[in-house]
Structure 1
Amino acid sequence: MTDRSDAGTGAVRGPAGPAAAGPRPRIAIAGMWIESSAYSSHRADRRDFRVLEGDALLGRYPFLAPGEPLGSEAEWIPVFFARSIPGGMVRRDVYDAFRERIVRGLADAVAAGPIDGVYLDVHGAMSVEGMEDAEGDLVAAVRDVVGPEPLISAAMDLHGNLSERFVRAVELPTCFRLAPHEDEEETRERAARNLVDRLRAGTRPHRAWVRVPILLPGEKTSTRVEPAKGLYGRLPAVEATPGVTDASIWIGYAWADEPRCHATVIVTGDDPAVIAARAEALAAELWAVRDEFAFVGPPGSLDEGVDRALRHRAEGGARPYLISDSGDNPGAGGTGDVTWSLARLLDRPELTSAGAPVTYVASVFDPEAIDALFAREVGDVIDVTAGARVDGRVSGPVHLTGELVGLHEGDPDAGRIAVVRRGGLHAIVTEFRKAFHATDDFAAIGLDPERADLIVTKIGYLEPTLFDLAKGWTLALTPGPVDQDLERLGHRRIERPMHPYDAFPADPALRATVL
């Protein structure tokens, strides 16, 4: 059965009414993008965010460039956008300041003329100190300024968590269809195209929304493998159905702890019956394969990963071998200074003795350690304590001794970077948080990834360039703020029952609410 509440129709006010001809629609662009682990000791501050306004914000969207069709079909008004790599909760004062800049910018845009649409650029898994449902609060603030008539389109990460408050406020939500997210630009363009087409048509879309009680880590839901590959592969065909505008599956973000943490299916379009049927079918397919989700890479402990790498090398295997230090992955919200893995690697003489395999370990951040290292010169033998100044819950600071082989400045994320070598092991220490998720991240500091026998980096599933590089891989199930063992984290505020935490005596009623 389908709940068709709030399923009324209505035309969208455009600059010259609903007709396709006439003045270009005016569309404001705003957003805040971060993925926040509730279990990370890190707090996202102003330095963590890169702020874009004016032409710099428009430059984020190549499809809006002069000469591109979408760029000329609407008047795009850049308001404010801030983006951070994933981390912990956002400091409340930082969120409030950015929210105020968005509200103020939108108010200025409204004062200059009618706003027909808002292009909202948000992740979907932002958490803020002392607040529940941060994106819901943000979109409510946007609505307070622009009013109920303008359409809102949102380009999002498939690891977002959608609340009812958010879903009811956003007419055209869509999300990535690939993990790793190789379709970011395509998704942002789709969200913009959906909005422009609707404003030109002068019609309001319906959306069919299904909450699915599943909460899984991203490393078990990569679209490189089944069943996620097949599920997300169905979306273009659903989108091509007459009466459908867009189809999306949010698999959710497992390291937050709010009632909105769960999977979500939304299908938008003109025909309420069609979109409801398609949304319910997608939700049923997702539920049917819930037990088939498994880690995208060969899992194991850190020691098992090292043993496999050493065996791979001894057997003449090509290099490098990759180990994901998944528990403190900054790309999923890890703090970035957990030393648990580095300490254990330093204790393995097979890696730290003369003639040992070339091993890169990325990374821990520690401004105090960097100050001490930058007071020395390359070639010096150093003795420094590093890491665990923000998050020392699973391990304390590491005692790092060896030869200082690299000092680098100017990285926009990491700030200053030092490399310390003990035997074959090269430990990377940064001034600020950084995810070493691409081959270029290593090459930029003089470490050739192709010359390494083993690369251990704080990551979950391998991003494209590392995936292509790896000649072997272990997804190490290490402890930290984004621990893959979700039950070890202890969620308290998610709605229950929830797969895989609870048994379901009967399948849930996956009914669509049509808005």
Structure 2
Amino acid sequence: MPPLPLPVIAIAGLACETSSFSPARTLAPAFHPRRGPQVVDEYPFIHRETPLGRAANWQGALIGHALPGGIVTKAAFEELAGEILSRLSEIQTQSEAGIQGLWFDIHGAMCVEGMDDIEAELLRRIRTVVGPDAIVSASMDLHGNVSQQLAHQVDLITCYRMAPHEDEMETKERACRNLVQLLATEARPIRRPLKAWVRVPILLPGEQTSTRLQPAKGLYALVPEVEATLGVLDAAIWVGYAWADEPRNHAVVLVTGWDLDVVTKCAEMLAQFFWDAREKFHFVAPTGSLADCLEKALSSSARPFFVSDSGDNPTAGGAGDVTWSLIQILARSEFQNKVGPTVIYASIPGPQAVDEMVAAGIGATVTVTAGAEVDDLHSGPITMAGQVHAIRSRDRDAVVEGVLRVGSVFVIITKLRKPYHHEHDFTALDLQPRSAAIVIIKIGYLEPELFDMAADWMLALTPGGVDQDLVRLGHRRIGRPMWPFDKEFQPEPDLAPLLIPMSNKPFRVYMEEPEKYSRSAWAEVV
């Protein structure tokens, strides 16, 4: 008897963590789309020589992962979403059995002009192609948002359990493994797992919820314990994304599995732990104004001393070209002479400035203007006179980078914005961060390499599109009350899990007749 054909699993998704408080806009090329075989090539754990690769016929449609930034234009979304649907249609028609599974490869905090809950909207469109019977497994960032609509449309859903996200690939592989295992069941039609969803009225920045520290460390340590419970397939906690203003922006707990009592009790336990710990969340490093951080760094013997310029962090959604901090730094007398403390500043975009530095060449003295071409809400462009220290081309994000030495400050200027997370980002520019006195980076919590490199560290509470002072940003559409925007909750929030219906039931039925999906109703069904 010939072996059964492998199930066809398509891969599609768009990912961009976007701040609705930044004036920046994200266009289609920023997603660096990968198509067809390129998608499968991206993930070694589904290559043909791996167990997962041999378990299914993996077909890439289109994935796009943009650097976090401003709101995605509607035109960009429609262009990419349209191509996803077109490519999925091709896969659907080319396979005799059609698409049986979909890996929905997303972040979960993308905002599009004039649209809400865009990941749910994208999946709704995808369902029109792959149909209601296809099993959908989503992998997400823990800073994403899981609305009821999104939870309804997926069958399996999981997210990172670490911040910083050292388990990104592990999470994506888990999403694929869960999908393959569910497709391998002999039952036809495949029985959908239960999903216990809890809205937790907390909205905190990642810099207060890093799993390096308690209480997030202890909270996320509970997740694999719950996952190992008999009757549970997966457990996940989303902190949510703090710098966008949609009703879906809040924390969520979701437990997936087969046992009604187990998934509901586990979801409620995780949600209650999260809620009870709300007052214990604090910043992952000592904080202060930029001036406070610089004074501390100058008086410290710890070298290198790192300072996070957090308000314009490009990996949280900042435009990356706010000049406010750099203006303050270059104005300080301590740094205006070459014999002053060595400072590295990363970074500021300035396309014309980079062109002028390239034309002048290394060693030349130039005067250039950079920054505030996108986000000029806090300060204007900055003009700097200094010596060209280094030039580097062909970077994936920055395209071209230049280093301008202004006094004792080495300012990295880029053609396009770029995050600086690795030591080689600096050494490739003939900079030695380990021997610098102060390293100032547009970032929030330090990524692992930087964290290991820093002898000491402070988080500067600076202005920008991802300002850590959430209250002053002016959220208007999030559900209230919400911690920490509100401190009084009378009565206490209801953390009883909502049992989300199976994905092959129209969501409008769920919205119109929610009593059908109460806990007691589910008990009768299962």
Fold match (TM-score > 0.5)? yes
The corresponding residue for 2:122 is 138
Could you tell me whether the CA contact under 8 Å between 1:88 and 1:334 is conserved in 2? yes
Following TM superposition, by how much is the alpha carbon of 1:498 offset from its aligned partner in structure 2, in angstroms?
Answer: 0.7
Deviations 1:48-67 (A, max 9, x none): 22111122211221111122
The alpha carbon displacement at 1:69 in A equals 0.3
Equivalent residue for 2:312? 328
The answer for the alignment partner of 1:431 in structure 2 is 415
Q: Distance in 2 between matches of 1:183 and 1:358?
A: 34
CA distance in 2, matches of 1:51, 1:447: 32
Residue type at the aligned position of 2:213: V
Instruction: Give the secondary-structure state (helix, strand or coil) at the position aligned to 2:18.
Output: coil
Distance in 2 of aligned mates of 1:174 and 1:46: 26
TM-score, length of structure 1 as denominator length: 0.94
SS of the aligned residue for 2:254 comes to strand
SS of the residue corresponding to residue 69 of structure 2 reads: coil
The answer for the alignment partner of 2:332 in structure 1 is 348
| Deviation, structure 1 residue 348 | 0.7
Q: CA deviation at 1:112?
A: 1.7
Q: How far apart in 2 are the matches of 1:321 and 1:47?
A: 36
Establish whether residue 218 from structure 1 lines up as the match of residue 206 from structure 2.
yes
**In the aligned structure 2, how far is the partner of 1:108 from the partner of 1:388?**
44
2:484 maps to 1:500: yes
Are 2:512 and 1:513 aligned?
no
1:162 equivalent in alignment to 2:146: yes
**Corresponding position of 1:40:** 22
Cα distance in 2 between the residues matched to 1:415 and 1:330: 16
CA distance in 2 between partners of 1:81 and 1:337 (Å): 27
Q: Which residue of 1 aligns with 2:255?
A: 267
Letter in 1 for 2:49: G
**8 A Cα contact 1:122 1:156, kept in partner:** yes
Q: CA deviation at 1:374?
A: 2.1
TM-score, normalised with respect to structure 2: 0.92
Matched, 1:443 2:431: no
Q: Which residue of 2 aligns with 1:13?
A: none
Structure 1: distance between partners of 2:29 and 2:370: 21
Which of these residues, 58, 63, 68, is aligned with residue 45 of structure 2?
63
Shift of 1:206: 1.0
Give yes or no for the alignment of 1:286 onto 2:274.
yes
- Quick check: 220-229 or 297-306, which moved more? 297-306
The one-letter amino acid paired with 1:246 is D
Give the Cα separation in 2 of the matches to 1:333 and 1:444.
Answer: 25
Q: Who is 2:513 aligned against?
A: none
Distance 2:48 2:145 in 1: 34
Q: Is the 8 A contact 1:210 1:279 kept in 2?
A: yes
Aligned to 1:193: 177
Unaligned runs of 5+ in 1: 1-15
- Please list, as runs of the form range in 1=range in 2, the aligned pairs for 1:355-374 lying within 5 A after superposition: 355-374=339-358
Cα drift, residue 343 of structure 1: 0.4
Per the alignment, residue 298 of structure 2 pairs with: 310
Alignment-derived partner of residue 377 in structure 1: 361
Task: Spell out, residue by residue over 1:316-363, the C-alpha distance to the aligned partner (whole angstroms, 9 max, x if none).
Answer: x3x211000000000100001000110000001112213111110011
Q: Is the 8 A contact 1:207 1:272 kept in 2?
A: no
Query: Which AA in structure 1 matches 2:126?
Result: V
- Of 57-66 and 473-482, deviating more is 57-66
Q: Does the residue aligned with 1:491 lie in a helix, a strand or coil?
A: coil
Matching residue's letter, 2:12: A
Q: In structure 1, how many angstroms separate the alpha carbons of the residues matched to 2:492 and 2:22?
A: 34
Code of the aligned partner of 1:270: W
Q: Shift of residue 506 of structure 1?
A: 2.6
SS in 2 for 1:58: helix
Q: Tell me what 2:56 maps to.
A: 74
Please tell me whether the aligned partners of residues 91 and 129 of structure 1 are also in contact (alpha carbons under 8 angstroms).
yes
**Cα distance in 2, alignment partners of residues 290 and 440 from structure 1:** 37
475-484 vs 42-51, greater mean Cα deviation: 42-51
Give the drift of 1:188. Answer: 0.3
Contact 2:107–2:144 (8 Å) recurs in 1: yes
Amino acid at match of 1:234: L
**Mapped partners of 1:484, 1:439: distance in 2:** 26
Task: Answer with 237-246 or 420-429: which moved more.
Answer: 420-429
Q: Percent identity?
A: 49
Deviations 1:150-199 (A, max 9, x none): 11000100000111211100110100000000000000000000000011
> What are the within-5 Å matches in structure 2 for residues 12-23 of structure 1?
22-23=4-5
Other structure's SS at 1:95 match: helix
* Alignment partner, residue 298 of structure 1: 286
1:255 is matched with 243
2:494 is paired with a residue whose SS is coil
1:446 Cα deviation (Å)? 1.4
Superposed CA deviations along residues 132-155 of structure 1, whole A, max 9, x for unmatched, are 111111111111111111110001
Task: Name the SS of the counterpart of 1:446 in structure 2.
Answer: coil
Output aligned runs, 1:87-102, within 5 Å: 87-102=69-84
Structure 1 segments of 4+ aligned residues over 3 angstroms from their partners: none
1: CA distance, partners of 2:92 / 2:194: 25
